[in-house]
A and B are shown apart, each in its own frame.
Chain A
């Protein structure tokens, strides 16, 4: 009894962790490149879920939604970066954070206006609508798909950033944007692209989350806090940190729910506080100051 239970919980935690990774990796990429903590990142997640719902409503195809929603959210991100974030790069980074904070309200109410405030759910694709038994634990096969999908995305991202020319441009920009611009790299274009790409990843995670966690307008602000905790734990701007942080927070949340039902929501904060005490810059962050 104990072993299957434990195993099932661990898999649940892993799928939630992978989901957090898809979300927080966009947050950390955007910060690494633009020095902006995008508090509207949870909103991209919500927008992705609703764009996915709309696509599925129109075509009935989950896989199409998995492509269309990130593209749509990426376009929204690109427009947002060009129109309102860019004029603020000359100011204090705090102004940019305040600005993205305003967008949380804006996006949440827009979605409520268009789609209404009720809770909706995205059905899983037919291929993964059943459960499977592993070591006597019953696991929805969709969760297994999420785990594999997320790990493949992590691998592709790593290859993209470490092994391609585009990746080295991004790394150069993260390291020293001014120097990279001096070497002939079109930094404004890279900024817009990275922001749009991060937004698209947020949108992607929204579609992926749909069949596990239902969609409602406040979901964006709700997921923002775990995502922020992930980057605090892992270290802001570090891809590896975002992966490790996500997996830790995913397990902490899931096992908290199973073992401490009265204080489950507290678990992730305890983890965060412990990490901040030991390493204020996060597990894989560059030293502060």
Chain B
């Protein structure tokens, strides 16, 4: 545990100091990875731990992003940047979750996907939200009189928030609550039978994941300075799903790893070819077919096979 905490701190320090030794573009990529990493990890909380595969996680990312855009345009404080977006996304997750957790499996997939596209439909037609052009020119927040328009300050602010979100998620999956979620994933009927209010646990997990996804959406709006209905599009959910799958479902930090792999690959590939979607689809298909445990699953599989081989030789 101490070792893990030390490792986490070292990674954080390196990430925080990155603008000192990386150029502007790599730092931008890093910030994008961090934001998407939080989004993917929030999806992994419900997908990897509670076994609720949601194809509509973009709903909460988008709600967070839009509420941040609206609120920051009026008052550039921390309430606008963090509290309101997370609360609004949690509320959206409460409503969508209320409908969706009545069913499971493929029905859950279809409902979450449909509800997220509902947000797309609404924002696309809502003139007061800028319709299809979205909201542009969103100012970055100001904390204690410090403008976060400054690139280095914004970077530190981002690191702190991402670290807090990751720690919170880590605490949640290690807590008794997290273990109940795993139990539900493995055998929902049994958890029900031993007396857990399964529905409430699932709904709470869904709301927490939604709130953190909303935070990621808000950070994304602050990072880009704008938000469009595309944030709600099925592709946004799909990218988060792919990040979780690449990293390894049910490994939490795998989501961050997947985000890094995804965004680095994207920036690399898109400088050579326009066929990014094709590569995305193929990656999706190949990972599901051949590496369902993701990178972390493959690595730990190799490690345990290696250990077994070593034991075999020792005999």
Contact = CB atoms under 8 A, between A and B. Distances in A.
Interface of A: 31, 37, 39, 84, 87-88, 91, 93-95, 97-99, 101-110, 112-113, 221, 224-225, 228-229, 231-232, 236, 262-266, 269, 272-273, 276-277, 280-281, 288
Interface of B: 53, 55, 99, 102-107, 109-111, 113-115, 117-118, 121-122, 124-125, 234, 238, 241, 245, 275-278, 280-285, 288-289, 292
B281 A84 contact: no
B114 A236 contact: no
Contact of A99 (B104, B106, B276, B289): B289
Contacts, number: 118
A interface: dominant SS = helix
Contacts of A102: 280-285, 288
B99 A94 contact: no
A98 B278 contact: no
B interface: dominant SS = helix
A103 B292 contact: no
Contacts of A88: 288-289
Given A91-B292, A99-B289, A236-B107, A104 B281 contact: yes
B66 to A, nearest CB: 16
A228 B110 contact: yes
A37 B106 contact: yes
Contact of A272 (B114, B285, B292): B114
Given A221-B234, A225-B113, A265-B122, A93 B284 contact: no
A280 B106 CA distance: 12
A264 B107 contact: no
A31 B109 CA distance: 14
28 contacts: A37-B109, A84-B285, A88-B288, A94-B109, A97-B53, A97-B106, A98-B288, A99-B285, A101-B241, A102-B281, A102-B282, A103-B281, A105-B284, A106-B282, A109-B278, A109-B281, A112-B277, A113-B275, A225-B113, A228-B110, A232-B111, A236-B107, A263-B122, A265-B125, A266-B118, A269-B118, A276-B99, A288-B104
